[in-house]
Amino acid sequence: MKKLFSISLSFLLFSTFSVFSQEKNLVIENIQKEAYENSQLEILAHELLDDIGPRLVGTPQMQQAHDWAVTKYKSWGISAENQQWGEWKGWERGITHIDMVYPRVQTLDGTQLAWNPGTSSKGVTAELIALPKIKDSLSFQKWLPKVKGKFVMIAMQQPTGRPDENWKEFATPESFEKMKKERDEQTKAWDENIKRSGYDRRSIIPALEEAGAAGIVDSYWSKGFGVNKIFGARTKKIPTVDIELEDYTMLYRMVEHGDKPKIHVVAESKDLGRVPTFNTIAEIKGTEKPDEYVILSAHFDSWDGGTGATDNGTGTLVMMEAMRILKKVYPNPKRTILVGHWGSEEQGLNGSSSFVADHPEIVNNIQAVFNQDNGTGRVTT
């Protein structure tokens, strides 16, 4: 009898496990099938990255993206809302036009930095000067009045726009080491020169503005071919622009040779005052343990030098597509699946940290978190 019961129980357990495994495998197969055969990633990417574009916190485009995501989730039958976590400086980018107007005319490749005040419609025309060789803070203070009415160049003149790895690929070992050593030494000397002023790369900018500079000209090279990093301005009243490496180094050489180049800058941005800022939250409610949470996570905001595709459009779209597929294939999960599209991550994890502070009942019951913010390529961790 015991033997018969044992055999029967074993058969029952095997049968139950077999059915469970088959159901589990079927769900996985259906998820893969939906992802491979009916992917919405391309159209989602077009709508978010091409049509809406960059998502700088405080801009109309950021708000448009939040609203778009909520509408998209609801169209899939997923509950979603924008949750306000604070306020930010409202700002809208307009057209930036930068031209060299002396000693010859050339349109330059550059843009205004984020949250920077706009110029008048007539723009600003002024001579360019570069930071001098600084002996100490006293000598810098004596030089400082010379910036009045001029655009000040605050970035180092790069010896080349080619990345190190490209030099290494085509150069002899001796040539590569020589180039790299010279670049490293020049960078170190530049940083030490600014330090002797009594300021650092950031704090020197307000000092130049206070001294009467007409504007700030930067060139924050990414160390990649033809790409600069566009972040936020540190001036309150005067224009701050970033000029592409090749144009910037041309202007720098002209300043060094005493050509006294002049540029004309028009920046049509708008100050929108304080505006509310949000996280977009969507969820598929759990059926057995609705108060336990599996979190999908990706920051929604971006800088606005590009469309924000890599950082973090990729993560945003992956999480949206995952939610769409789960709702279609696995609509009744045991635990609640919640996705957070965080605002203002780039300025210090503001959206996600606010969510943590506002929702301890969720945070204390998290079972797993999947965050995506590593750009393109295969997810490896």
Q: How many residues does the chain have?
A: 381
CATH 3.50.30.30 fits 94-268, yes or no: yes
pLDDT along the chain (381 residues), means of 10: 36 39 80 95 98 98 99 99 98 97 99 96 98 97 98 95 89 91 94 97 97 98 90 97 97 98 98 98 98 98 95 96 98 98 96 98 97 78 57
Q: What CATH number does the domain located at 31-88+273-371 have?
A: 3.40.630.10
CA 138 to each of CA 132, 141, 142, 197, 205: distance values in angstroms, whole numbers, following the listed order: 13, 5, 6, 8, 17
pLDDT for the residue 151? 99
pLDDT for the residue 381? 57
Domain(s) labelled CATH 3.50.30.30 in the chain stretch across 94-268
Q: Which of 59, 65, 53, 55 is nearest to 276 (CA)?
A: 59
Using DSSP's 3-state secondary structure scheme, residue 242 falls into: strand
pLDDT for the residue 22? 61
Stated pTM of the model = 0.89
How many Å apart are CA 302 and CA 114, to the nearest integer?
11
pLDDT for the residue 6? 38
Torsion sign, CA atoms 203, 206, 212, 215: positive
Domain(s) labelled CATH 3.40.630.10 in the chain stretch across 31-88+273-371
**Is 327:317 a contact under the CB 8 Å cutoff?**
no
pLDDT for the residue 25? 87
pLDDT for the residue 160? 86
pLDDT for the residue 376? 73
